[in-house]
Amino acid sequence: MNIFQNVREYLTPVLSESGFVTDGVLTPEEFVAAGDQLCYKCPTWRWEGGDVSSRRSYLPPHKQFLRTTGVPCRRRVTSLEQDYIGETTVEDDNDWLETHNQNKHVEDTAERMHHISLDGGSPTSASQTNILSALVDEHFQVSAARGPPTGHANASSPPDLSAFDDDDNLVDDTDEATLTYIATSEPEPTELDADGNLVYTRTYDVSISYDKYYRTPRVWLFGYEESGAPLKPDDMLQDIMQDYANKTVTIDPHPHLTGIPHASIHPCQHGAVMKRIVANLMAGGKEVRSDQYMFIFLKFLQSVIPTIDYDYTIDVEAKSS
C-alpha cells in the first residue's frame, strides 16, 4: 500500500456493529467467522498469519488472511471475451441483448454489478447472453437436483439457499468418505490462441484480506507459468476481464506478504454489490447469514476472473424464513 492508503486505513475506526444487511460490509469478527466457514466447507482454503510486522491487531494473529494455492487457470480470458464480441446488454427491467453493436462501451463496475440477476431456471445459452450475465446466471442457478424449473417461475425470485440450513452453522456430522470435494489435476494443453498456439495451464495463489477502510474482503492474485516461473504483472492482467484490468484491478503490494506485488481487485464496490445480492435474496423470503458472505462474494467475483478456478464448491443457498 502507498502512504495515503496506510494513513487512511489507520484513521478508519474498526467496525464494531454489523452492517452485513444494511451496507454489505463485515466487522472483523464477521470476516473471521465467514473465513472459518469457507475453510471448513472448502478445504483448499486456509488461514495464514503472514509477516508478523504486517499483522492487524483487530484480527487473530494466525487468521490475518485466507489463501488457496495452485489454483488452475486453463485458458486466457480473451478466449471468453471473443465469444461475446458484438453482444451488449440494453438496460430495462428484464435486461435484454442488443447484438452486433460494436460502438457501445461496457458499463462501469458499479453499474454492471448493480444489475446482477439471481433468477432461477435453466441456464442461459452462452450464445444468447453477454459474458457477465452468463457467468452470474451460471453461478446463481437453483440446483437441478431440486427438480426442473417451471416455465412460469417468478423472474424476481432469488434461488433457494437451503444448503446453508445447518443448526450449528456448519455441515452436519457426516462420514468424510462420502463428502464431495474438488480435486485439481494437471490438464493437457488443448486450448489454442488466435494464432493456433497451445495455451498452457497457469496456476494462481489467491488470497483474501480484510480491508479496514472499505470493511469488506479484498482479493489478491499471484500467478505462475506452467514451468513454475512467476508471471509478470502484465501477464496476470491477461487473466482478468479487460473491462476491469488496470481499472478496478491493479498491481499492488500484498498487505501481509511484504514486498510481493499482486494483482488486486479493488474493493470500492464490493459492499454495494453484496448489499444488493443479499437484499434480493431476503426479498424472496430467504434468510442469509453473515458467515455465508465468502461463498456469495467468491461467486460474484467470477465475473472478474472467470478462468481462475478457485474452490467455492457449495451452492449459494439459504433457508426460507
**Is 164 in a helix, a strand, or coil?**
helix
Are 76 and 85 contacting, i.e. CB atoms less than 8 angstroms apart?
no
From the candidates 39, 42, 73, 268, which is the catalytic residue? 268
Q: Which residue bears the cell 427491467? A: 93
Residue 169 zone, left/alpha/beta (φ > 0; ψ -120 to 50; rest): left
Burial 83-115 (b: 16+ CB within 10 A, else e): ebeebbbeeeeeeebeeeeeeeebbebeebbee
Q: Can you tell me the distance from the alpha carbon of 246 to that of 227, in angstroms, rounded to the nearest whole number?
A: 26
Give the orientation angle of helix 28-41 with respect to helix 293-300, to 10 degrees: 80
Residue 73 catalytic?
Answer: no
Q: Can you tell me the distance from the alpha carbon of 302 to that of 285, in angstroms, rounded to the nearest whole number?
A: 26
Is the four-CA dihedral 237, 243, 247, 248 of positive or negative sign? Answer: negative
212 CB burial (10 A radius; 0-12, 13-18, 19+): buried
Residue 247's CB is within 10 A of a number of other CB atoms, namely 12
Are 313 and 71 contacting, i.e. CB atoms less than 8 angstroms apart?
no
Give the residue numbers marked as catalytic: 268
